[in-house]
Amino acid sequence: MTSTNDIRSAFLEYFGAQGHRIVPSASLVPQNDPTLLFTNAGMVPFKNVFTGQETRPYSRATTAQKVVRAGGKHNDLDNVGYTARHHTFFEMMGNFSFGDYFKPEAIEFAWTLLTRDFGLPKDKLLATVYAEDEDAAELWKKIAGLSDDRIIRIGTSDNFWRMGDTGPCGPCSEIFYDHGDSVFGGPPGSPDEDGDRFVEIWNLVFMQFLDQPDGSRDSLPRPSIDTGMGLERFAAIMQGKRDNYDTDTMRALIEASADVMHQDADGAFKSSHRVVADHLRSTAFLIADGVLPSKEGRGYVLRRIMRRAMRHLHMMGAKEPVFYRLLPALIQQMGAAYPELVQHQALITQTMKGEEERFTALLERGLTLLSDELDRLGETEALPGDVAFKLYDTFGFPLDLTQDALREKGRTVDESGFETAMAEQRKRARAAWVGSGDTAAETVWFDARDKHGPSEFLGYVSEKADAEV
């Protein structure tokens, strides 16, 4: 079996041999874009290189980039534990051309790596292209020998990438792997594409245009390439699995979670162990990059992830902090590729343990309140917004934690009731501040929170950057 660690190395070495600089992963906290919550794609650290604001001593690069998609534009948090192919933290493998090579080479590189180096059967692969991108369709035929029915033309914005309202943009081509007949899910672009038969593994972006502030679109004199391949999805294929969570790395974390709880990884709590394994990675990597759990901004997203994992552990019977005890398993899997985990092991451990200690007492009381309330309600009634708000305000339950707890029971929260309760409390808080004669800073904070909404208030203006890959 090819390990995930070996696949990562093979990918980087392949592009290294094709003249790409192997660049280490950048931080999960974007260094060049304060409006972006987390690095959510491999291209993020190179944004200014693509726009020409920054130059590098190389025109081809390859990376294994740490990525978090929880909160903001790409939010895969609610998928975790329930789909076979979404994580909150994952590694995006990529190759980049900064005005160097373009479509023919990008397609050739991807195809050669997949079918020659990694030996994937050609008849398992499909490619989507943007409907107007005849060039790409022709190249897939010529280079890969794909027949027409394996080239799927998609005309929606899904297959057209933009960095933002202005700036570089261009068509995409997504490479899919077909896991086989027996499983639910239609081909890409079809209404039921979200099954697990066809899995998107690699997204190629052809940056060939420049959107101007006046709304016009120019052709770039030297077009660029940005690609992103999900390492976990690809490892699943290479390891003969349908499910990312059955790959070596994820499986080791799931088993660590099951061990610490003295349970069967595939028993009644199967999806909880998956959630814990996923959230362990986002938690540890975010702390290693300097994010700490807090009440707002990045820290609040981290807190939501941590508390959600902790609720699952509690539900499985944990009576004392256990989440931090899983860290050594993660370090064993990923510490060699990401030495920051080892370097910051003490801080990560301490932070995880401290957060769990603080939250455990509240969690127990909050869950009791929640189950009492549910007992009083009719079978199909949504949890009233003021109860969800009390859980949030008094017991530190982020709304999505409550929703996650209810989801297992097929129940929901009255979200607008929750927002109303939140708005009322804000009004009271504001009135109190006015009375206190305090200064501008708080007013600014309240204004920002009003504008951006309470539960999703992340402390950032917006995610204007459309970093699809």
By Cβ distance, which residue is nearest to Mg ion?
203
Residues 4-63 that bind ligand ATP (CB under 6 A): 41
Among 65, 97, 203, 283, binds ligand ATP (CB under 6 A): 203
Our finding on whether 468 is near ligand ATP (CB under 6 A) is yes
Among 151, 163, 201, 309, binds ligand ATP (CB under 6 A): 201
In single-letter form, the type of residue at position 115 comes to T
CB-wise, 64 or 413, nearer to ligand ATP? 64
Residues 204-233 that bind ligand ATP (CB under 6 A): 228-230, 232-233
Three-state DSSP class for residue 194: coil
* Interacting partner of 103 out of Mg ion, ligand ATP, none (Cβ under 5 to 8 A depending on kind): none
Among 39, 88, 203, 244, binds Mg ion (CB under 5 A): 203
Binding window for ligand ATP (CB under 6 A); candidates: 26-34, 201-209, 217-225, 313-321: 201-209
Gap between the Cα atoms of 323 and 280, Å rounded: 8
Q: How far is CA 161 from CA 31, 132, 208, 258, in A?
A: 22, 13, 10, 41
Minimum CB separation of residue 349 from ligand ATP in Å reads: 26
Answer for the pair 340, 288: CB distance below 8 angstroms, yes or no.
Answer: yes
Gap between the Cα atoms of 77 and 88, Å rounded: 6
Sign of the torsion angle spanned by Cα atoms 262, 264, 268, 273: positive
Gap between the Cα atoms of 285 and 27, Å rounded: 9
Burial of 425 (0-12, 13-18, 19+ CB in 10 A): middle
CB-wise, 173 or 351, nearer to ligand ATP? 173
Among 8, 20, 60, 87, binds ligand ATP (CB under 6 A): 87
CB-wise, 33 or 355, nearer to ligand ATP? 33
Minimum CB separation of residue 25 from Mg ion in Å reads: 20
In single-letter form, the type of residue at position 437 comes to G
CB-wise, 75 or 263, nearer to ligand ATP? 75
* Interacting partner of 313 out of ligand ATP, Mg ion, none (Cβ under 5 to 8 A depending on kind): none
CB-wise, 203 or 403, nearer to ligand ATP? 203
Among 14, 15, 50, 90, binds ligand ATP (CB under 6 A): 90
Structure tokens, 12: 């980087």
Answer for the pair 89, 40: CB distance below 8 angstroms, yes or no.
Answer: no
Structure tokens, 174: 């997504």
Residues 60-79 that bind Mg ion (CB under 5 A): none
In sequence order, what are the beta bridge partners of 160?
171
Minimum CB separation of residue 249 from ligand ATP in Å reads: 12
Q: Where are the alpha helices (DSSP H) in 113-171?
A: 134-144
CB-wise, 188 or 293, nearer to Mg ion? 188
Residues 269-328 that bind Mg ion (CB under 5 A): none
CB-wise, 237 or 327, nearer to ligand ATP? 237
Binding window for Mg ion (CB under 5 A); candidates: 163-171, 177-185, 193-201, 432-440: 193-201
Residue 409 backbone phi and psi in degrees, to 5: -100, 5
Our finding on whether 202 is near ligand ATP (CB under 6 A) is yes
CB-wise, 152 or 388, nearer to ligand ATP? 152
State the Cα angle at 214 between 213 and 215, rounded to 5°: 90
Q: Residue count at the site for ligand ATP (CB under 6 A)?
A: 19
Answer for the pair 176, 188: CB distance below 8 angstroms, yes or no.
Answer: yes
* Interacting partner of 162 out of Mg ion, ligand ATP, none (Cβ under 5 to 8 A depending on kind): none
Our finding on whether 200 is near ligand ATP (CB under 6 A) is yes
Our finding on whether 64 is near ligand ATP (CB under 6 A) is no
Answer for the pair 308, 275: CB distance below 8 angstroms, yes or no.
Answer: yes
| Full 3-state SS string of 305-333 | HHHHHHHHHHHCCCCCCCHHHHHHHHHHH
Q: Residue count at the site for Mg ion (CB under 5 A)?
A: 2
Minimum CB separation of residue 283 from ligand ATP in Å reads: 16
Gap between the Cα atoms of 190 and 295, Å rounded: 41
Gap between the Cα atoms of 303 and 320, Å rounded: 18
- Packing angle, helices 248-260 and 327-334, rounded to 10: 160
Minimum CB separation of residue 197 from ligand ATP in Å reads: 13
Answer for the pair 302, 359: CB distance below 8 angstroms, yes or no.
Answer: no
Contact set with Mg ion (CB under 5 A): 200, 203
Contact set with ligand ATP (CB under 6 A): 41, 69, 76, 85-87, 90, 92, 200-203, 228-230, 232-233, 468-469
